[in-house]
Chain A
Amino acid sequence: MTLKKGSFIIEELENVQINIGKVGAKEEEIPEGPTPRPEIIGLRNWDNCIIDRYNPVYTPTADTCDYCTYGKCDLTGNKEGACGIDLEGQSARQALLISIMGSACHSAHGRHLLNYLIKKYGEDFPIDVGPSNLKAPLTETIMGITPKTIGDFIPVLEYVEEQLTQLIAATNTGQEGSSRDFESKALHAGMLDLLGMEVADIIQISCLGFPKSDEKAPLAEIGMGILDPKKPVVICVGHNIAAPAYILDFMDKNGQFDKIEIAGLCCTAHDMTRYNKTAKIIGSMSKELKYIRSGIPDVLVTDEQCVRADILKEAQKLHIPVIATNEKIMYGLPDRTNDSVDAIIEDLVSGKQQGVLLLDFEKVGELVPKLAMKMGPIRKAKGLTALPDDKEFKLLVAKCTKCLQCTKDCPQSLPISDAMAAAVNGDLSLFEILHDKCVGCGRCDYSCPSGIPVLNVIEKASQRVIREEKGKMRIGRGQIGDPEIREEGRNLVLGTTPGVLAFVGCGNYPDGTKDVYDIVEEMIQRSYIIISSGCSAMDIGMFKDKDGKTLYERYPGRFVKGNLLNTGSCVSNAHIAATTIKVASIFAGRKTKGNWEEIADYVLNRVGAVGIAWGAYSQKAFAIGTGCNRLGIPVVVGPHGTKYRRAFIGKPYKKENWNVLDGRDGSVVNVEPAPEHLMITAETKNEVMPLLAKLCFRPSDNSLGRAIKLTHYIELSEKYMKKLPDDWHIYVRSEADLPVAKREPLMKLLEEKGWKIDWEKKKIIEGPLRKVDVSFQPTNVSRLCKEAKK
Chain B
Amino acid sequence: MTPKASGKQEEKIIDTTRQAVPFNTGNIPGPKMARAVMPAISGKMLAKAKRPILIVGSEIDDPDVLERVVALGKAGIQIASVGDSYKYLGDKGLDAHYVNMHALASYLCDPEWPGLDGKGGYDLVVFFGITYYYASQAISALKNFSRMKVISIDKYYHPNADMSFGNLRKDVFIEALDEVIEQLPNKNSR
Which positions in A face B, CB cutoff 8 Å? 55, 57-64, 74-78, 87-88, 408-409, 411, 413, 447, 510, 639-640, 642-643, 645, 647, 649, 651, 653-654, 677, 680-684, 686-687, 691, 720-723, 725-726
Contacts and interface: CB of A to CB of B under 8 A. Distances in A.
B103 A58 contact: no
User: Which residue, of A639, A682, A691, A726, has the highest number of chain B Cβ atoms within 10 A?
Assistant: A639
B84 A447 contact: no
Interface in B101-124: 101-103, 105-107, 109-110, 112-114
A640 B136 CA distance: 11
Given A651-B107, A681-B102, 14 more contacts: A57-B105, A60-B144, A62-B29, A62-B30, A63-B32, A76-B32, A88-B145, A411-B24, A642-B134, A651-B113, A680-B100, A684-B58, A687-B58, A721-B87
A642 B102 contact: yes
B144 A720 contact: no
A344 to B, nearest CB: 40
B102 A64 contact: no
Interface in B165-182: none
Interface residues of B, number: 43
B130 A683 contact: yes
A722 B91 CA distance: 9
A687 B100 contact: yes
A247 to B, nearest CB: 38
Contacts of A725: 98
A723 B98 contact: yes
Contacts of A649: 102-103, 106
B2 interface: no
A721 B141 CA distance: 26
B135 to A, nearest CB: 9
Interface string B64-105: 000000000000000000111011001100000110111101
User: Which residue, of B30, B86, B102, has the highest number of chain A Cβ atoms within 10 A?
Assistant: B102
B143 A691 contact: no
Contacts of A76: 30-32, 143-144
14 contacts: A59-B105, A63-B29, A63-B140, A74-B31, A409-B25, A413-B24, A640-B133, A642-B137, A643-B137, A680-B102, A682-B102, A683-B83, A683-B130, A721-B86
B133 A642 contact: yes
Nearest to B145: A78
Contacts of B31: 63-64, 74, 76
B105 A722 contact: no
B140 A60 contact: yes
Contacts of B103: 649, 677, 680
A716 to B, nearest CB: 11
B138 interface: yes
B6 interface: no
Contacts of B26: 409
Interface of B: 23-26, 29-32, 57-58, 82-84, 86-87, 90-91, 97-98, 100-103, 105-107, 109-110, 112-114, 130-134, 137-138, 140-141, 143-145
Nearest to B99: A726
B101 A651 contact: no
A57 B106 contact: yes
Given A63-B30, A413-B132, A642-B138, A687 B83 contact: yes
A681 B134 contact: yes
Contacts of B24: 408-409, 411, 413
A60 B26 CA distance: 14
Contacts of B57: 683
Contacts of B102: 57, 59, 642, 647, 649, 680-682
A75 B145 CA distance: 11
Nearest to A650: B103
Contacts of A77: 32, 143-144
Contacts of A721: 84, 86-87, 98
Contacts of B25: 408-409, 447
A460 to B, nearest CB: 25
B146 to A, nearest CB: 9
Given A61-B29, A683-B101, A691-B100, A654 B112 contact: yes
B141 A723 contact: no
Contacts of B113: 651, 653
A88 B114 CA distance: 24
B35 to A, nearest CB: 14
Contacts of A642: 102, 133-134, 137-138
Nearest to A679: B102
B144 A687 contact: no
Nearest 7 Cβ contacts at the A-B interface: A63-B30, A683-B83, A642-B137, A686-B84, A639-B134, A722-B87, A57-B106
Contact of A78 (B97, B100, B133, B144): B144
Contacts of A74: 30-32
Contacts of A55: 106
Contacts of B106: 55, 57, 647, 649, 651
Contacts of A684: 58, 83-84
A640 to B, nearest CB: 7
A61 B106 CA distance: 16
Contacts of A654: 112
A417 to B, nearest CB: 13
A413 B100 CA distance: 22
Nearest to A410: B24
A409 B21 CA distance: 13
A651 B25 CA distance: 34
A722 B113 CA distance: 26
Contacts of A640: 133
Contact of A408 (B23, B83, B114): B23
A89 to B, nearest CB: 12
Contacts of A62: 29-30
Contact of A59 (B87, B114, B137): B137
Given A683-B58, A721-B98, A639 B84 contact: no
A723 B86 contact: yes
A87 B113 CA distance: 22
A683 B140 CA distance: 16
